[in-house]
Amino acid sequence: MDTYPIYMKNTILSSLFFKNVSKVFLGFLVVITFFVASSYAHASITPTLSVYATGSGDTVQINVTGGPNESVILYYSSSTSGQYFYSLGSTDSSGNFSTNISSSSYGIVSSAPVHVTLNGINGVSSPVVMWPSISTSGTNKISLSQGGLVLSVGQSNTVVVNNAVGSLYILSNTNPSVANVNINGTQLVVNASTVGSTLVTVCTTGMTSGCPSLSVVVQNVGAQTLTFSQNNINLSTGQNTTVTVSGGNGYYNIINNSNSSLVQSSVNGSVVSLNSNASSGTASITICSTDMSACGIINTTLSGVSSPLTFNQTNPALTVGQSLGVVIYGSSGTYYVSSNSNPTVAQTNISNNILNIYASTSGSAVVNVCSSGGGCGQLSISVSTPTVVNTSPVILSQASLNLSVNQSQVITVTGGTAPYILPVSSSNIFQASVIGNTLTVTAINPGSAQISVCSSSGGCSVVSLFVSVVNNTTPSINSFLNLSQNNPTVSVGQITTVTVSGGSGNMYTVVYNSNSSIATANMSGTMLSITGIKNGYVVLVVCDSANDCVPVSVGVGVSNPSPLVTPAVVTTPTAATIPVPAARYQFNKNLSLGSIGTDVSELQKRLISEGVYTGPINGRFGPLTEAAVKKYQSLHKLSAVGIVGILTRTVLNYQ
């Protein structure tokens, strides 16, 4: 059966063995080759990269495809650190990866080249793509250290660009011949060339809108700088303030407002109004005189909503004619009334930290009070008509005052119901205040005025004030003014008129009436109207605004009044004639402490006859004479100042 030789069998067996071994080895090589090839093929997949701006600030979406579960590394050029890479995460089991990042957080600028690698820094790289254009609005918006510059020709200055992400470039320069602007890192270097103004807008790469602007005004060498009542102003949201400008030709324009969306500005005459309408930021307002001879910058910082002001009462209720002081608390700086919804109901003013309220008419008003240091508060004021009226009249210790400029006088107030109120506490003629039952009046400028003093429950009395010029020679009586009739007469219940002319002033006023129970008088333009009340004599004094005066001697129910005599008392309304005593000594000079001469001797005699002086007749105006003069003045309802001035001389001469 076995026809093959033994060696042949061995040869065949060996051949079969090696054949099978070769098959196994080749199979192993195939497996090894498959795995190696498979591994090599997997590592050689080129990843893809796409980037998209999300439209939300500087956020960019990154999408990567590649092998599954592989690390993703982003390579980019940082605006601050040069070439940089950062691990973003890993692909999922399908080889996909997506995320959003903030461009400013990584320092990636618009149009910068970027790529990714998978499986580490030596992995396969994606193609390079360009980073998309991004918005720098919101917290990443660039800003300038100042919004305006005022330079002289040949002068240079620098402005810092804040929050700069990427390269800076000049978007526009409206007038480069006025100022040349160069970029040095994060600074703008401004060189003034010629007189004029220009507006320079600076952006970062990829930013074409919302870029800040710098206002540059160039003046001649040695030009003035405007001055402001306040600068470097801090405001809170909704707060308003005003700034007074001085310098230049007195007429002003707003050249530029670096941030009008933050602070609105306007100018009226020499007053600049600033109104804040945003939460926070800065604004520089450039102001110049209309002839461009002087310029300046008002810097404003809006610090957001400040703590509100508070008051010791926020809903004060008053009655008509009542005054009230409300204490203001909070913030710092100067308090001011920013608005009053109804000033006809409640008049307001502020003294230090006290809001003074005077109730004029019934109704309601909302008053807003703010501080220059930030913060505002609101009061709701209601005013009602008094339900109980005290008919007790207000009584004044003096009904008339004769003061010199800067002189003060005190009057005692009684009657009525305290506290007493001054409907008008100041004018260009006087300032007045009432504390307790003491009225203090201070003369400011020459002229005349009526000062009303009212009870808090109703009813007023009037002080007639005449103010003369300090250290100015008082004109002689009747030296400048003329009357159409010097000694008018009037019947009881009737009215007569006298025309006044002449003088150097432009307003006539009745400053003295020796007895208003006999006749009343008032001026209307140049017409003096006299109304007879009862029989007797009265002396009036009419002055103009330049302190020129003239006496008017009036007879009521009698004829031929003499300005130089004191008639006998008329006891019945049917009296036909009046005895006329001898003429009195005429006083033509002002007399005061230290005066000497015949005028003083005659004054002392007259004071003795009036029963107010008991000293010697020595022609010397000493303390005894001064005290007697004060008594005489009080007796005749004059201001008891102890000086024989124009009104006192008028009474001495004609009463």
Q: Can you give the pLDDT at residue 166?
A: 66
Confidence of residue 154 (pLDDT cuts 50, 70, 90): very high
For the whole model, what pTM was predicted? 0.34
Q: DSSP letter at 638? A: -
> Do 377 and 462 sit in the same domain of this protein?
no
Range of the domain at 405: 394-468
Higher pLDDT, 112 or 179: 179
Examine residue 33 and state whether it is found in any structural domain, yes or no: no
pLDDT at 74 over 80: yes
Instruction: State pLDDT tens for residues 459-514.
Output: 888 888 877 754 333 434 445 788 888 789 999 989 999 998 887 766 888 878 87
Instruction: State pLDDT tens for residues 81-93.
Output: 467 787 889 999 9
Examine residue 4 and state whether it is found in any structural domain, yes or no: no
Q: Can you give the pLDDT at residue 590?
A: 84
Higher pLDDT, 567 or 335: 335
Examine residue 615 and state whether it is found in any structural domain, yes or no: yes
- Strands 71-78 vs 113-118: parallel, antiparallel or unpaired: antiparallel
Instruction: State pLDDT tens for residues 432-451.
Output: 889 888 999 888 777 778 89
- Give mean pLDDT, residues 349-378: 86
Q: Can you give the pLDDT at residue 334?
A: 81
Higher pLDDT, 99 or 562: 99
> Do 375 and 479 sit in the same domain of this protein?
no
* Last residue in a domain, options 560, 579, 598: 579
Q: Can you give the pLDDT at residue 532?
A: 92
Q: Please tell me whether the peptide bond between 616 and the residue prior to it is cis, using omega within 30 degrees of 0.
A: no
> Do 222 and 188 sit in the same domain of this protein?
yes
> Do 644 and 518 sit in the same domain of this protein?
no
Q: DSSP letter at 444? A: -
Q: Can you give the pLDDT at residue 307?
A: 67
> Do 120 and 145 sit in the same domain of this protein?
no
Confidence of residue 174 (pLDDT cuts 50, 70, 90): very high
Q: Can you give the pLDDT at residue 551?
A: 83
Q: Can you give the pLDDT at residue 538?
A: 83
We report the CATH number of the domain holding residue 95 as 2.60.40.10
pLDDT at 20 over 60: no
Q: Can you give the pLDDT at residue 279?
A: 59
Q: Can you give the pLDDT at residue 358?
A: 92
Q: Can you give the pLDDT at residue 138?
A: 40
Which residues on adjacent β-strands are paired with residue 158? 189
Q: Can you give the pLDDT at residue 578?
A: 33
SS (H, E, C) 394-429: EEECCCEEEEECCCEEEEEEEECCCCEECCCCECCC
Examine residue 6 and state whether it is found in any structural domain, yes or no: no
168 CB contacts (<8 Å, ≥6 apart)?
161, 183, 186, 202, 203, 204
Examine residue 457 and state whether it is found in any structural domain, yes or no: yes
* Last residue in a domain, options 243, 270, 303: 303
Confidence of residue 529 (pLDDT cuts 50, 70, 90): very high
> Do 219 and 158 sit in the same domain of this protein?
yes
Confidence of residue 567 (pLDDT cuts 50, 70, 90): very low
Query: Percent of the chain scored above 70 by pLDDT?
Result: 80
Query: Could you give the 3-state DSSP secondary structure of residue 225?
Result: strand
The top-scoring range by mean pLDDT among 218-232, 254-268, 349-363 is 349-363
Distance CA 394, CA 488 (A): 33
User: Number of structural domains, the chain?
Assistant: 6
> Do 290 and 409 sit in the same domain of this protein?
no
In one-letter notation, the amino acid at residue 276 is: S
Q: Can you give the pLDDT at residue 120?
A: 85
Distance CA 376, CA 330 (A): 9
| Helical residues (DSSP H) of 190-288, grouped into ranges | none
Question: 519 with 531: CB under 8 angstroms?
Answer: yes
Which residues on adjacent β-strands are paired with residue 257? 285
> Do 166 and 238 sit in the same domain of this protein?
yes
Question: 373 with 332: CB under 8 angstroms?
Answer: yes
The number of CA neighbours under 13 Å toward the Cβ of 433 is 4
Q: Can you give the pLDDT at residue 221?
A: 86
> Do 415 and 269 sit in the same domain of this protein?
no
* Last residue in a domain, options 352, 384, 416: 384
CA 246 remoteness from chain centre: 16
Examine residue 43 and state whether it is found in any structural domain, yes or no: no
In one-letter notation, the amino acid at residue 235 is: L
Instruction: State pLDDT tens for residues 262-304.
Output: 788 899 988 998 887 655 678 889 999 888 888 999 988 776 5
pLDDT at 610 over 70: yes
Q: What is the mean pLDDT of the chain?
A: 79
Distance CA 271, CA 252 (A): 9
Higher pLDDT, 148 or 81: 148
CB atoms within 10 A of CB 218: 27
Which candidate, 100, 110, 106, places its Cα nearest to that of 131?
110
We report the CATH number of the domain holding residue 202 as 2.60.40.1080
> Do 609 and 481 sit in the same domain of this protein?
no
> Where are any strands of DSSP class E within 174-251?
179-184, 187-192, 196-204, 213-219, 224-225, 227-228, 233-235, 240-246
- Give mean pLDDT, residues 66-75: 90
Query: Percent of the chain scored above 90 by pLDDT?
Result: 22
The token pair at 68 is: 């599954």
- Give mean pLDDT, residues 330-337: 78
Distance CA 147, CA 302 (A): 14
- Give mean pLDDT, residues 134-159: 77
> Do 272 and 169 sit in the same domain of this protein?
yes
CA 241 remoteness from chain centre: 3
CA angle 368, 372, 373 (to 5 degrees): 115
Q: Can you give the pLDDT at residue 96?
A: 93
Q: Can you give the pLDDT at residue 473?
A: 38
Examine residue 258 and state whether it is found in any structural domain, yes or no: yes
Q: Can you give the pLDDT at residue 580?
A: 36
Alpha-carbon dihedral angle through residues 263, 266, 267, 271, given to the nearest 10 degrees: -50
Q: Can you give the pLDDT at residue 564?
A: 38
Instruction: State pLDDT tens for residues 617-628.
Output: 998 988 899 899
Residue pointed to by tokens 């004054």: 603
Query: Could you give the 3-state DSSP secondary structure of residue 630?
Result: helix
Higher pLDDT, 422 or 279: 422
pLDDT at 387 over 70: no
Helices 646-654 and 623-635, interaxial angle, to 10°?
A: 70
Q: DSSP letter at 126? A: P
Q: Can you give the pLDDT at residue 607?
A: 93
pLDDT at 571 over 80: no
Confidence of residue 137 (pLDDT cuts 50, 70, 90): very low
- Give mean pLDDT, residues 165-192: 88
The top-scoring range by mean pLDDT among 34-38, 76-80, 638-642 is 638-642
The token pair at 503 is: 């003088």
Which residues on adjacent β-strands are paired with residue 163? none
In one-letter notation, the amino acid at residue 436 is: G
Examine residue 232 and state whether it is found in any structural domain, yes or no: yes
Which candidate, 24, 286, 260, 280, places its Cα nearest to that of 148?
286
We report the CATH number of the domain holding residue 645 as 1.10.101.10
> Do 542 and 411 sit in the same domain of this protein?
no
Distance CA 182, CA 171 (A): 12
Q: Can you give the pLDDT at residue 305?
A: 57
583 CB contacts (<8 Å, ≥6 apart)?
564, 565
Distance between first and last Cα of the chain: 185
pLDDT at 13 over 50: no
- Give mean pLDDT, residues 231-235: 76
